[in-house]
Amino acid sequence: MAGKEGLMLDVQDLKKSFSGHRALAGLSFSLPKGHIYGLLGPNGAGKTTTLKILAGLLAPDAGHIYINKEMYRRDRSDLKRRIAYVPDQPFLYSKLTGEEHLHFFADLYRLPRAVRTEKLDFLFRYFEFEEYRRELVENYSAGTKQKLLISQALLVEPDLLLLDEPLVSIDPLVGRKFKKHLRDIAARGTVVIFATHILSLAQEICHTIGVIIRGRIAAAGPVAELIAGCGGLSLEDFYFDLVMRHDGFSQA
């Protein structure tokens, strides 16, 4: 991991509570440019809360976030336009066509229309839903809606891409192409944070992983190092052993 001077994202001691329930209890991690970070943890551990705070949808109760050494807050629209988020519960405008929806999203990010056509052509073709380009979103299947959601995030070429279980409903072929594209954009400097319950996916695509338990990072590092540190078990064995050593979490 790069030193502080080489960091793109620096998250320091985030805390967040909801109605007395502590969702984040001092969460910290730092990532350099071009890094794919897997965020693992049991249900309710704080993964989605972390992503929503980074996306600017929630404000932390305490803590700081720095993007390229600039302090990030919800009112920093200039920094928010460098972030894209694929949530686990998608919101799409059902009365727009897929193409209209992407243009609307690009307008929010002030993406010049002169550079959109080539990007839209690529995304509809690459993720294999060109035939639905001018179809109303309300008529999309769950998988096609997920392709649209992924496309809107990639369209704006963010510096920070936040993904919450993005491959839900995606067929394996498109999923494979998506993973390749993530590697490509990371190679160009994008930081990707990938929250997932699929341990094999995290092991395949992420440079490092962090396991959230009770609102804190309980373990983090390259998969091979984490496994070696617990006696050479599989990632699945490492993960479940780590979680079960912390009381209060079901293994659902």
Report CA dihedral (239, 242, 248, 252) to the nearest 10 degrees.
10
pLDDT of residue 252: 35
CB 224 within 8 A of CB 233: no
178 and 97 part of one domain: no
Identify the domain boundary among 157, 172, 192: 157
176 and 250 part of one domain: yes
pLDDT of residue 6: 63
The amino acid that residue 227 corresponds to is: I
pLDDT of residue 251: 42
30: left (phi over 0), alpha (psi -120 to 50) or beta: beta
pLDDT of residue 81: 87
136 and 184 part of one domain: no
Alpha helix segments (H runs only) across 71-192: 77-80, 98-108, 116-126, 142-155, 172-187
68 and 177 part of one domain: yes
182: domain CATH number? 3.40.50.300
40 and 164 part of one domain: yes
128: left (phi over 0), alpha (psi -120 to 50) or beta: left
pLDDT of residue 77: 84
46 and 99 part of one domain: no
132 and 233 part of one domain: no
pLDDT of residue 143: 94
DSSP string spanning 67-104?
Answer: ETTEEP-TT-HHHHTTEEEE-SS----TTSBHHHHHHH
248: left (phi over 0), alpha (psi -120 to 50) or beta: left
Q: What pTM was computed for the model? A: 0.91
With residue 203 as reference, give the H or E element that holds it. helix 199-205
Number of domains in the chain: 2
126 and 173 part of one domain: no
Q: Which domain holds residue 28?
A: 1-82+159-252
11 and 74 part of one domain: yes
178 and 236 part of one domain: yes
Identify the domain boundary among 126, 157, 188: 157
49 and 167 part of one domain: yes
- Total Cβ atoms within 10 A of residue 197: 14
74 and 98 part of one domain: no
List the pLDDT tens digit at each of the 252 positions of the chain. Answer: 444 556 799 999 999 999 989 999 999 999 999 999 999 999 889 999 999 999 999 999 999 999 999 999 888 888 888 999 999 887 899 999 999 999 999 998 888 888 888 999 999 999 999 999 999 999 999 999 999 999 999 999 999 999 999 998 899 999 999 999 999 999 999 999 999 988 989 999 999 999 999 999 999 999 889 888 877 778 888 998 888 887 544 443
With residue 204 as reference, give the H or E element that holds it. helix 199-205
Identify the domain boundary among 103, 125, 157: 157
Mode of pairing for the β-strands spanning 160-164 and 83-86? parallel
Tokens (6 digits) for 237? 């064995």
